[in-house]
Amino acid sequence: MRGALFWLATVQSAYFVLTGVWPLVHMRSFLAVTGPKHDLWLVKTVGVLVTVVGLAIGMAAYRRNVSPEIMLLAAGSAAALGVADVVYVLRRVISKIYLLDAVAEMILVVAWLLSSRPPVPRWEPERPPAPISKAVAPGATAAAAGPRGTVEWAPRARRDRLCRSSAPRSKRVPSTPADSIGRGDRSCCC
């Protein structure tokens, strides 16, 4: 896992757990900073959900296994909370302090988008192709050479087609004395 994903997941996990647990632990200080709320049960419910999301992201960071699903959870939850902050501040349902949270959430979303992009490959000049060897092993034909210059023995049927003689195999005679060197008792030029 890339280091950026680990640190991004760790930061978001800490932020989500702290902001999610805060209204559960000390509602009075939470309301003093964020303004009065009518439905405290809703504040606590959102706090529990944000805490659970933060713990899931934190567990993935701890295990160094930030999968695409965790990335979607992290970026999606940050985007949803940020949009909700902006919409409800504009409707004057919640106080303007939530715009700070919206900025933090959007920074997280942008960071996840940037970190999820595949790395740009480095440009490297093209290398010339490897030279093909012209050498042919004893007992092989040039036609049996592979694409990289390696020589392979041709199958019997192909060898028979490549042979200079159309006589039966038992009556073939090498075309030059060098053709029979190193091939045992074979009497074919192939």
* Residue ranges covered by each domain of the chain: 3-116, 135-190
Of the candidates 77, 76, 98, the residue with the CA atom closest to the CA atom of residue 86:
98
Tokens at 111, concatenated:
């960071």
More confident residue, 109 or 167: 109
Distance CA 105, CA 111 (A): 10
Of the candidates 92, 90, 101, 117, the residue with the CA atom closest to the CA atom of residue 33:
101
Neighbours of 174 (CB within 10 A): 17
The confidence band for 3, taking pLDDT boundaries of 50, 70 and 90, is confident
Distance CA 113, CA 10 (A): 16
Exposed, middle or buried: residue 84 (CB in 10 Å: 0-12, 13-18, 19+)? middle
Tokens at 29, concatenated:
């200080």
Q: Report the half-sphere exposure of 167 (CA within 13 A, side-chain side).
A: 10
Q: Would you state the pLDDT for residue 116? A: 79
Full-model pTM: 0.61
Of the candidates 116, 112, 7, the residue with the CA atom closest to the CA atom of residue 61:
7
Tokens at 2, concatenated:
């890339």
The confidence band for 117, taking pLDDT boundaries of 50, 70 and 90, is confident
